[in-house]
Structure 1
Amino acid sequence: MTSLRIFARMVHKKCRSPKYPFGDATRLPISDEEVPWNVKISYNPPEYESPGLKNKPWADPYIDDTYFCPKFNFLDGNVDRVSFMGTYMIENKRPLNPEGRTGLRGRGILGRWGPSHAADPIVTRWKISEGVKEIHSVTNLPILQFCAIQRHDCNEWAIPGGFVDPGENVSETLRREFAEEAFKLLETDKEEAEKINIAIADFFKEGKEIYKGYVDDPRNTDNAWIETVAMNFHDETGETVGKFDLKAGDDAKNVLWLDIDKNLELYASHLSFIEAVAKLHNAHW
């Protein structure tokens, strides 16, 4: 797979909203200038851990559990605790978010202490009208569409991604998440599922890496955060994945081919990924 990486430090904002969106917790408000750990401030934020994490097989134990001895910054068995952002600090047994303070301690709703690795497949096709690419009237550039899902938890539109399972290859996650969320393969009939699986397997052999790093996600906390690999898979002719009917599945509420435009409002850092894809294909933005 070819690569078009974008590495950029950020001042995260979506993970500093006053109300933690997935539980009964309120963040301590902090300014942009107070986000970096090396800035000395009086800082005593509340702590939140979702009760739903207790005894879940995919989640870490509580940080003070006697038998929990994670190898932060290393591959810990089949759990990858290495950050794309480099070595992160550990304070009082807790990993510290490499992008700084969020106003909330603990791990929130996230299953892992430290980085939770995800994969975001950006599947694109051209918008076609009467057999030709549709051109935007302002930019005079062809309009690109991407497969977007509407999330159940917040109703925002997003790339159909998900977390990398322990021991799973990122390329496997990309295919699995796209199939589950955009084609409802968990529930569709066997014959149709087989056709789609064959098409996806071939289609996902070629892609471009758009981004690899930290995600400004509202679920992030001081001690748990999301990092992702975003890959673009483009159907130039619209005759492979682009021709199948989309069916929302797994944790997707809706799914559709969404026109790419700079005025879109998308979940977390997804708009920046979509912008990079539009520029890659010299499409309307």
Structure 2
Amino acid sequence: RGNLPQWGPNHVIKAVISRFTPVSTSVSPTPSSSTLRDNPAQNMEILVLASPDGGKASLIGGPVRFGKSPYSTLCDIITEIFPDDEAHHDAYADQEDMIHTFSRFASHIHGKKSKAGFATYGYSAFLVYRGYEDNPLNTDNAWHETEIFNFHYKHRDNFNSCLKNNENVEWQAVSDRISLSPGDLAAVKDAEKLRTNSDPTAGLST
């Protein structure tokens, strides 16, 4: 199993957290690179974990934790990055619970939103990818199986107020040269393409 903790599939869950921002106000653009969007009026931005050594950034997420569901794991991770005194996650939280947790960032008002109000706030979520992830740590007997969800904030969000105490988390404008691993970049491209073409409504599409 090499350096992986388990034989067989090692499960990972990640988030593509995105919003659209006018080009003139977008953050962390990549010099001399075109955006992936056809519409030049807006950039899609994603929230990433910056590498402390200046290497590739990464999507927010990580290995599924022992005794936790994948969705509870991602809820725990986002709450560790952006603490919330009211957050209490069931160890076996499901996809709907996870989507509800991420709704707290929709609009400038902090706090979970009702499912009926997701569309009003411009908040939606859907599954981008589920399956084998190519990784240099994979072996014949142990490998990564990954789920990646896109959480999109079409109108307003309150992430910026939460970022003040998080030097390792930042918005990056999506471009054809954004510094991500191939697997993460492919998921971002898929999310960007779907958002550009259809802008899915509230809820989860699988």
Report if TM-score (shorter chain) is over 0.5: yes
Specify the code of the residue in structure 2 equivalent to 1:139: D
Q: How does 1:253-264 map to 2 (within 5 A)?
A: 254-264=168-178
Deviations 1:115-156 (A, max 9, x none): 110110111112246789xx9698334211111112458832
SS at match of 2:60: coil
Q: Specify the alignment match of 1:112 in structure 2.
A: 6
Q: Tell me the residue number matched to 1:194.
A: 85
> How many Å apart are 1:238 and its aligned residue?
2.5
1:235 aligns with one of 153, 157, 161: 153
Q: SS where residue 258 of structure 1 aligns?
A: strand
Where does residue 179 of structure 2 map in the other structure? Answer: 265
Q: Which residue, 71, 75, 84 being the options, matches 1:175? A: 75
Q: Give unmatched runs, 5+ long, in structure 1.
A: 1-106, 186-192
Bigger relative CO (Cα 8 Å, ≥ 6 apart)? 2
Q: How does 1:197-212 map to 2 (within 5 A)?
A: 199=104, 202=112, 207-212=125-130
Instruction: Work out the CA distance in 2 between the residues paired with 1:254 and 1:160.
Output: 11
Q: Aligned runs of 1:133-148 on 2, under 5 Å?
A: 139-141=38-40, 142-148=42-48
Q: Which residue of 2 aligns with 1:156?
A: 56
1:36 paired residue number: none
Equivalence for 2:143: 225
Asked if the contact 1:235–1:242 (Cα under 8 Å) also holds between the matched residues in 2, the reply is: no
Partners of 1:176 and 1:156 lie apart in 2 by: 23
Query: How many matched pairs?
Result: 161
CA distance in 2, matches of 1:126, 1:282: 10
1:170 to partner: Cα distance: 2.0
Query: Normalization by structure 2: what TM-score?
Result: 0.64
Give the whole-Å Cα distance in 1 for the aligned partners of 2:187 and 2:164: 21
- C-alpha deviations, 1:61-91, integer Å up to 9, x for none? xxxxxxxxxxxxxxxxxxxxxxxxxxxxxxx
Amino acid in the other structure paired with 1:224: A
**Structure 1 counterpart SS, 2:163:** coil
Q: 1-side partners of 2:174 and 2:25: how far apart?
A: 19
Instruction: Give the direction of change, closer, same or farther, for the CA distance of 1:172–1:215 in structure 2 (3 Å limit).
Output: same
What RMSD in Å do the two structures reach over aligned CA positions? 3.4
Residues 156-195 of structure 1: CA distance to partner in whole angstroms, max 9, x if unpaired? Answer: 2110111112332222122222333x43x4xxxxxxx327
Bigger CA radius of gyration:
1
- 2:190: which partner in 1? 276
After TM superposition, the structure 1 = structure 2 runs for residues 41-56 of structure 1, keeping only pairs within 5 Å, are none
Q: Which structure 2 segments of 5+ residues have no match?
A: 27-33, 89-100, 106-110, 116-123, 198-206
In the alignment, residue 179 of structure 1 is paired with which amino acid? T
Pick closer, same or farther for the CA change 1:131–1:226 going to 2, 3 Å.
closer
